[in-house]
Structure 1
Amino acid sequence: MEHIPVDPDFYLEIGANTALDFQSETTSLASSIAKGRFENGRRYQATKDEEYWGPSDEKQFEAFEIGHMVFLVLDHYQDNPLFRAPIKNLPKHILDIGTGQGSWAIDVADMYPSATVRGVDLFPPPVTWMPPNCIFEVDDVLREWTWREPFDFIHIRLMYGAFAPEGWDQLYKQAYAALEPGAWIEQMEFDVRVRSDDMTLKEEHQLSKWGNIFIRCAERAGRSLNIHETMRNSIEKAGFVEIHEKKSRVPLGAWPRDKLLKETGRLQWAHWNAALEGWAMWLLTHFGEPIPWTTEEVQVFLAKVRQELKDPHIHGYNWINRVWARKPTEGESSKERGY
C-alpha cells in the first residue's frame, strides 16, 4: 500500500510538476485523484476500480464539516468531545481512517502537539492549513498497511457503506495488528433511519421511508449501511477487549425543548440539507428500486424530503452508536479472534 501524502498546495503542485515528474507513476495517480470521476454533477474518488457510493467534492466536504460540529456540540459536556477512548496522555501515533475533510484529525493534532496524527482517505481533503504534526494521505485501507510505527489510537467515523462485511473484518484485523498492546480503537456510526417517539413521523412521510430505501440499495450494492449494529461484535471478533458502547439520539431539526438538543438539531438539519444529494444520488441511480432511478426522479424525491425537513411538527431523530475497545496487553488473555 503506497501512501500518497497530501499538503495544502497539493492541487497547485500537480499543475507545476516538470515533464519528467509527470511521467512518474505517483504523479499520474495524484493527477487522477485530483480530477476524480464525475457523475450527475458530483465528483467521486478515482483510486479504486470498485466505485464508492459517496462523493468527494466541495458540497460533501461542507456536509462533513457540519457533521463534525454536530458531534462536538452533542458531546460538549465531555472533557474531551472528540473521542471517548482513554488513551494515554502522550500518544505518539494516531490514525484517523476515513478522515473526510480532516477536521477531526486537525483538532486531535492540536490537542496532542507531540503526536503524529495521520488522516487517510480515498480523496485528499480540501485543507488550506494544518498543524505540522498532522499528515493527510490518500490510500486504500483494505490494502496491506506499510506504516512502520505502531499506533496508540485508531479512529473511525461515519464509514457506513464503505465496505462489504469481509472488508470490515479485514480492516479490524489490520487495525488490531497495527496497534500497540494496550492501545485503543474507536468507531462512531449513524443509523440512517429516521424515527420519532411521538408518532409525528408518519408512514406516508418520505423521511419515514428514507432509511430502509437506502439500506436495501446498499445491500444490492454489496455493502451495508447497518454497520452501527454490527461493529461491536466485529471489533470483539478481531480480538479487542474492554469493549464499551454508547448510543445517543441526535434530533433532526430544532424541535427539542432542551437548549443543547435544540442547537444539535439545528446543526443536524443543516448537515442533512448539505448532504442529502450526496447520500442519495449514486445509490438511487445505480441500485434504486424497482429499477435504478433517473437523476430527475432523485431530485424530485429530495425536494419532498427537504420540504419535510422544514416541518417543525415532525419530531425526527437518528440513533448514533459509538464503540471503543482496547487491544490486550502482552500476556493478557483475550477471546479467540476467529481468523
Structure 2
Amino acid sequence: MSEDIIAPDTDLHFIKDNHDPQDWQSETTSIASSIYKGLVENGRKYQTLREQGSHVPSDEQMFETYEASHLLAFIIDSDKGNALFQAPVEKPKHILDIGTGNGTWAIDVADLFPDATVRGVDLFPPPVTWLPPNCILEVDDILQQWTWRDPFDLVHLRLLDAAFTPEETDHLYQQCYDHLQPGGWIEQLEMSSFIECDDGSAPNNSILFDWGHRLTTAANKAGRPLGIMRTFQGSIEKAGFVDIQTKDYKWPIGPWPRDKILKEVGSVNYQHWLIGMEGYGMWLLTKYGDPVPWTKEGVQVYVAKMRKELSNPRIHVYHRARRIWARKPVDEDWVKVEFSP
C-alpha cells in the first residue's frame, strides 16, 4: 500500500504493461487526475480506482451522507467515555480505518490519540484540506496486498454493505487479522437497509418497507450481497478472532422518540436518509434493478416518494445497526485452549 498522503498506488493498479517507459511521468499524472475527476454516471461521480466499480458515489452529496452517519453513530454512544469505538484499546500506536469516506472518523481518532498514527483508506480522495499531523489519508484498494510495515492495534471498518463479493469479504478479514498485533482489535459498525415500524404508525403497504427488498435483490444480482449486518460476525469469527462482542441498535428515522438522545439521533438520521438514498440506490437500481435495470429518472421518482413518506411526522420508523468488536488471539490464548481440561 502507498504511504503517501492522499496518493494512489499507481504502480500497482494503473500502469499497463505496454506503456512507454519514457512516458511514465505523463501517464501517472493522467491517472492521478482521473482518480480525482472520477467517473460521472447518472449525474453522480464514482471512483475509478477499482475496475469492478463502486455502488456508492464519491461526490459532495455522498460526503454529506457520510458526515451524517458519523454524527448519528457518535451521538448514540455519547454516554460512553469514547464514542468513536468500543474496543478496549489503550495507548494505541497504529490504527487503520477501512472505508474512511470523508475521513471524519480517522481525524477524530487522531485528535483523541495524538501519539498514534491513524491511517484512513478508501477508493477516492476525501474532501479534506487539513489533517492532524498524526493522520494519513490514502487512496488505495484495500483488497490489494498490504505493505504497511507496522502492525495495527485497531482496524476499524464501517458501512461496507454490498462493497465486496463473499470471496473478497473473506480475503479482507484475513488481511485485517494478519496485520493486527497479537491482542489487537477489529471493530466494525454496519446498518440495515430495511426500515421497520413497531407501532403500526406506518401502513403495511408503505413504500418504506419496499426499499430494503429492492436494494437486496439488486445487490444479489450484482454479486455483492446486501445484509452484511447479519453475516459479519460469522466472517470475523471465521478469520480467527476471539472475544467477539456485539452491540445492537435501533436508529430512529425522524425526531419522533421521546428520549432526548434518540430524538437527536432520529433528527440526524432523517437527514442521512434524505441526503443519502439516491446515492445508496442509484448504481444498484440502474444496473441491477428488478425486473430490468431502472432509468435514472425512475430512481429519482422512487427516492422522491421515499422522502415524502419519511417526512410524515405521524410515522415512527427506524432501522437496525450493529457494532462488533473482537480480538486477535495472543499465544497465551492458544495455550489455554490446548491444555484446558
TM-score normalised per structure 1: 0.92
Partner secondary structure for residue 187 of structure 1:
strand
User: In structure 1, how many angstroms separate the alpha carbons of the residues matched to 2:209 and 2:124?
Assistant: 32
Q: 1:96-245 alignment to 2 at 5 Å? A: 96-245=97-246
TM superposition shift of 1:213: 0.8
Q: Closer, same or farther in 2 for the Cα pair 1:325/1:335, shift >3 Å?
A: farther
1:4–1:139 Cα contact (<8 Å) kept: no
Q: For residues 13-53 of structure 1, what are the alpha-carbon distances to aligned partners after superposition, in whole Å with 9 as ceiling and x for unaligned?
A: xxxxxxx9982554333212101101011000001110111
Q: SS at 1:72's partner residue?
A: helix
**TM-score under structure 2 normalisation?**
0.91
User: Paired residue for 1:35?
Assistant: 37
Q: Is the 8 A contact 1:21 1:27 kept in 2?
A: no
Give, in whole Å, the separation in 1 of the partners of 2:265 and 2:162. Answer: 24
> 1:4, 1:271 → 2: CA distance?
31
Whether the 8 Å CA contact 1:169–1:238 is kept in 2: the answer is: yes
Among residues 52, 59, 63, which one is paired with 1:57 in the alignment? Answer: 59
**Secondary structure of 2:181 counterpart:** strand
Residue-by-residue CA offset, 1:259-309 (whole Å, 9 max, x unaligned): 111111000001111111101111111111111111111111111101001
> Measured at CA, do residues 326 and 25 of structure 1 come closer, stay the same or move farther in structure 2, by a change above 3 Å?
farther
Aligned position for 1:329 = 330
CA distance in structure 2 between the aligned counterparts of 1:124 and 1:201, rounded to whole angstroms: 39
| Residue equivalent to 1:17 | none
Aligned counterpart, 1:13: none
- 1:33 partner letter: I
Report whether the alignment pairs 1:23 with 2:17.
Answer: no
In structure 1, the residue matched to 2:80 is 78
Per-residue CA distance 1:135-175 (angstroms, 9 max, x = gap): 00011111111101100100001111110111111001010
- Counterpart of 2:14 in structure 1 is none
State, as a whole percentage, how many aligned pairs show the same letter: 53
Give the structure 2 partner of residue 274 of structure 1. 275
**Distance in 2 between the 1:217 and 1:108 partners?**
35
Runs of at least 5 residues in structure 2 that lack an aligned partner in the other structure: 8-21
Is this contact kept in 2: 1:193–1:210, CA < 8 A? yes
Paired positions, count: 323
Q: Which residue of 1 aligns with 2:10?
A: none
Query: Could you tell me how far apart the structure 2 residues matched to 1:65 and 1:106 are?
Result: 12
Assess if the C-alpha contact under 8 Å between 2:35 and 2:47 holds in 1. Answer: yes
> Following the alignment from structure 2 to structure 1, what is the Cα–Cα distance between the partners of residues 337 and 164?
25
Structure 1 portions without partners, runs of 5+: 8-19
**Residue 21 and residue 94 in structure 1: after superposition, are their counterparts in 2 closer, same or farther (change >3 A)?**
farther
**Matched AA of 2:40:** F
Deviation digits for residues 101-124 of structure 1 (CA, Å, limit 9, x no counterpart): 000000000001011000000001
- Could you say if the C-alpha distance between residues 87 and 24 of structure 1 is closer, same or farther in structure 2, counting changes exceeding 3 Å? farther
For 1:73 and 1:147, locate their aligned partners in 2 and report how far apart those are by CA, in whole Å. 32
Q: Within 5 A, what are the aligned runs for 1:301-312?
A: 301-312=302-313
How far is 1:201 from its partner?
Answer: 2.3
Residues 249 and 319, structure 1, Cα contact 8 Å, conserved in 2: yes
Equivalent in the alignment of 1:259: 260
Q: Is the 8 A contact 1:203 1:209 kept in 2?
A: no
Report how far residue 202 of structure 1 moved: 2.3
Pair 1:335–1:119, CA change in 2 (3 A): farther
1:6 matched residue in structure 2: 6
